[in-house]
Amino acid sequence: MPVINVTMLGGVYDAEVKTRIAEALTDAMRTVIAAPPEGVIVALNELPAGNYMRGRTFKTPGPALPDAREVVKTFLERMEARDLTGAQSMLADGFRMVFPGGVEFSRLEELIDWAKPRYNWVKKTYDDWDVAAREDGVAVTCQGTLRGEFPDGTPFEGIRFVDWFLVRDGKLSRQHVWNDLGEYVLSQAGA
């Protein structure tokens, strides 16, 4: 049974952030040791404020980052609602997205223009989410099905998709999209 002891500055992080820390440490330990979640003990110890110094200077801890899964979910909701201003505010400088066929965009307007001849609208139903820490940020993957309407008004549904995002400092820096929409179109055409 692994025990993880973490010492952090007190009075800075709320209960939700502490829960996220403990859950992330539990999950990280379970990628290396075969232990059930209830077999991993995480102890969060807090130093009283003003009881930490480095380099002869009292230090203030960094702020908690937003939950990366919620960042991605909010971005996708804003995109579905065509709130491009709100979605744009969530992107890091240098944001890149890659869509099926290897088509790359750096601006949301480019994506909207590319999608116009493909469908009138599309919405997602999520089946699963994965979040993984990386050296360069947090990888968030969501998968599920698409439903929507083609330009001629024909509805579609049940199209599988996977979206992968890299979140850095609470902003989206990369997105990769895979889906079976092209396969669906070919199957409807009798190919």
Average pLDDT, stretch 171-189?
89
Predicted confidence at residue 122, as pLDDT, reads 94
pLDDT at 124: 96
CATH architecture of 3-58: 2-Layer Sandwich (3.30)
- Rounded CA-CA distance 80/126 in Å is 13
Summary mean pLDDT of the chain: 92
Which residue, among 121, 81, 111, has the nearest Cα to 175 in the 3D structure?
A: 111
CA distance 10 to 8: 6
Residue 115: helix, strand or coil by DSSP?
helix
pLDDT of residue 42: 96
Among 73, 68, 180, 182, which Cα is nearest to 125's? 73
d(CA 12, CA 49): 9
* pLDDT value at residue 25: 94
- Kindly tell me if the per-residue pLDDT of 126 is higher than 70: yes
Cα–Cα separations (whole angstroms), residue 33 to 4, 29, 37, 42, 139: 13, 6, 11, 14, 21
Q: Where are the domains of the chain?
A: 3-58, 68-188
CATH 3.10.450.50 for domain 68-188: yes
Q: pTM of the predicted model, to two decimals?
A: 0.85
58 or 88: whose pLDDT is higher? 88
**pLDDT per residue over 14-54, tens digit each?**
999 999 999 999 999 998 999 999 999 999 998 887 777 88
What pLDDT, on a 0 to 100 scale, did the predictor assign at position 190?
67
State the DSSP H helix or E strand holding residue 125, giving kind and residue range, or none if neither.
strand 121-134
Per the CB < 8 A criterion, the answer to whether 151 and 177 are in contact is no
Domain 3-58 identical in fold to domain 68-188? no
Q: Residue 191: which pLDDT band, with cuts at 50, 70 and 90? A: low
Is residue 4 pLDDT above 80, yes or no? yes
Burial class (CB in 10 A: 0-12, 13-18, 19+), 175: buried
Asked if residue 158 has pLDDT above 90, the reply is: yes
Lowest-confidence region among 23-37, 140-154, 166-180: 23-37
Q: Which of 80, 104, 84, 113 has its CA nearest to residue 175?
A: 104
pLDDT at 77 over 90: yes
